[in-house]
Structure 1
Amino acid sequence: MTMKNNGTRATVAAICAAVVNRRGYSYVHDFTANSSRHVTIKVNDNKVDAYDYAASASIDGSVPGDLYHYGENTHIEMKISNNKVEGFHYGSSDFYEATVSGTSVEFYDFGTSNFYFYEVS
């Protein structure tokens, strides 16, 4: 699985919202794929603990810095600047950029050259 996988991308977008808003979330809705995903995301200081139920995988680490996706066995880099998150998914060698506005996330995946839109709750 790579960032080209809608589920992985949705979960990373939800983590972006959580780190920008400094709070946890339980669901992410993918408007592009018209589907919802159950996740658990907790943010404490710069530490992220997340679980993607559909992938049965944990993702954790520090932001800014490096997260590890245990389901994909890969690292995900994440840097924050105000409401923007930039990063790199090492499994697919793709950069991404997310802009968070409240609970909405506009996500650009450089690997697919497309925008994706999400809402977290």
Structure 2
Amino acid sequence: MTNQTDGKLLALLAYASALFLYLHLVIFLAFLGTFILLNMGRNREFVAFHHRQMFGIGLIAILVNSLANVVPNGWIALLFITGVVMIAAIGFLAAIKNLKTPLPYIGEKFQQWFKFIQ
């Protein structure tokens, strides 16, 4: 048996892609958690409002990502993911405009459910 290392890096990267499959969720939670901690005790309601909105969006994204493998048709999951991105864009635009506008359909619920984010 010979040691064949030509292309070994590409072969290893093929397996590394499986490790990075859920890395985006870990990074999201780490960043959002850091931002929430940085705002704690500062009584900035505008920031807390948008953190609660994004926390809810993140939970929906995690739920959609988890259920995407269960649903037999990938197009349904793609539609939900597109919806999550659109809702996040609406919240982002509201924050740019200095507005505390709740997200359509779910924003008020996020404000009620996630009152622990202050």
| TM-score between the two structures when normalised by the length of structure 1 | 0.24
Of structures 1 and 2, the one with the larger relative CO (CA 8 A, separation 6+) is 2
Q: Which has the larger radius of gyration?
A: 2
Higher strand share: 1
| TM-score between the two structures when normalised by the length of structure 2 | 0.25
